[in-house]
A and B are shown apart, each in its own frame.
Chain A
């Protein structure tokens, strides 16, 4: 199926059920991308999996994102229907002051560790997750390192000369 037709098909089906919540639907490079708002994201994902024609049974990827204005966080889902080779991207954004969103573990068990990684890096809390703890960083860390306000380098180093590194 052509990518534009896939975009139309998914957009019409989503509009039927969630016509208020779809903030945008466009074709970027070769992926139909949908932005759905936070309140209906869980139902929308559930519908995308269970609908017999769309049947996005495979969760390719789940990752976090921070918008350039540094006030909103987002979660990005890549979904895949292997038998018909449909691939789409679903995004949802919410304010950094209240980063809570329902979990997708009950829809795809693979989302378990991917959500833990998003929590570890961005501080997004997934309501209903069985074990939301840090996964890659040390347990005692109290910052969310992937956010733009935190630095990359280890701040406790004292042997790097600022002059040589352009600071």
Chain B
């Protein structure tokens, strides 16, 4: 469809403005090497430039909300693991805090500081995947391969505490059932001491790299107004210039005791999102250092016998302990009726839990406010008019985890 018509063909070829433009349809299908997770985009393209995009989600819809209506409160943690599976401990802690709000439990300081350490490790783990995958999508495989070593170290720490690497189910409603083993404290100390060097190496590879910056600056930008209209939260919103962080706005689990900066970008493009996540990793390290230094003494869980198995000698000799043991194992805990909403700052933004209880052993209604699902709506607007390769990088920089998007 050339706009230039040669002199000889002027009578045969009709003038350019009467010719209809034909767009080609490209299916960026559910299985694709660059879409990390399964979602589909049908793109209407004008050559290499995207004119329109229609996303389809739901390819991994696992009916979490209906399933949660049939599971006792302690078993729902395993469902929350699988929401944003790159940082499962944050989802678990969010769920525990929602139930604790409902039953009005008081959590001791030591348990809260231990929770903060685990949540910040999970945040580092999530941002590592996102940033190294942005590198892979621009062609830089090296960062990905080397930085995954450090995720293995974080997995080691989780494994000592809860036994699992990825879908952790870590801690309990009310805190942790026992203190971390001594070797785990050493592992955390070693991690804090040695990780900065690796993160600096990763940063040197990509942050001021001309090719990386050429690819990512001005790629998929979003303005602060549009981001707020589309209910963005988390690093994507902060890259657009709005400094909203649930840890600062509505502090939970003693985050008000810690001194950390919330990094904010300017233009909301891919480079800003990458840099905001990088800086958040440095801040997470700072928070873990402060937590280790100021760790208070005390019990590691709240005094709610409904969720903690009593010691065996008491179970054999004491009637109340026997009844508690039976009820905990069979999942028959007494939860008051009521409705709460609690939000935590997940890897992708405000992860909210809306819980309605009618006093039974399972929730009446549980709704997850999933940040990925909400901000993925803005994707067609963000890539309108950009090249196909830019659209791929925009998608991976938004850190869309399919498990959280569909639930």
Contacts and interface: CB of A to CB of B under 8 A. Distances in A.
A78 B66 contact: no
Given A60-B231, A82-B244, A85-B249, A28 B63 contact: no
A109 B58 contact: no
Given A59-B231, A65-B365, A136-B58, A146 B65 contact: yes
Interface string B56-78: 01100101011101100000000
Contacts of B249: 82, 85
A152 interface: yes
A31 B338 CA distance: 12
Among A28, A68, A117, A152: residue with most chain B CB under 10 A: A117
Contact of A135 (B57, B70, B369): B57
Interface of B: 57-58, 61, 63, 65-67, 69-70, 101-102, 228-231, 242, 244, 249-250, 338-341, 343, 350, 352, 354, 356, 358, 364-365, 367, 369, 373-374, 376-377, 406
A47 interface: no
A61 B367 contact: yes
A29 B101 contact: yes
29 contacts: A28-B340, A29-B101, A29-B338, A29-B340, A31-B341, A33-B339, A60-B343, A60-B369, A61-B341, A63-B367, A65-B365, A68-B358, A68-B364, A82-B249, A85-B249, A87-B250, A109-B229, A110-B231, A110-B374, A112-B377, A113-B376, A113-B377, A114-B373, A117-B373, A134-B58, A135-B58, A136-B406, A137-B61, A152-B67
B352 A60 contact: yes
Interface residues on A, range: 35 or more
Nearest to B242: A82
A28 B341 CA distance: 10
A112 B70 CA distance: 29
List of 8 A-B pairs having minimum Cβ-Cβ separation, nearest first: A110-B231, A136-B58, A136-B61, A61-B369, A63-B367, A113-B377, A110-B230, A109-B229
A58 B231 contact: yes
Among A61, A63, A65, A85: residue with most chain B CB under 10 A: A61
Contacts of B229: 108-110
A65 B65 CA distance: 11
A125 interface: no
Nearest to A120: B58
Given A31-B341, A78-B352, A108-B231, A113 B70 contact: no
A102 interface: no
Contacts of A99: none
Interface string A23-39: 00000111101000000
A31 B367 CA distance: 16
A57 B377 contact: no
Contacts of B101: 29-30
Nearest to B225: A57
B377 A78 contact: no
Contacts of A30: 101
Contacts of B340: 28-29, 31
A31 B340 CA distance: 8
A121 B338 contact: no
A76 interface: yes
Contact of B354 (A76, A87, A138): A76
Given A78-B354, A110-B231, A145-B63, 11 more contacts: A28-B338, A29-B338, A57-B228, A60-B352, A89-B341, A110-B229, A113-B376, A121-B65, A138-B58, A146-B65, A152-B70
Contacts of B373: 113-114, 117
B57 A136 contact: yes
Contacts of A82: 242, 244, 249
B135 to A, nearest CB: 29
Nearest to B250: A85
B79 to A, nearest CB: 13
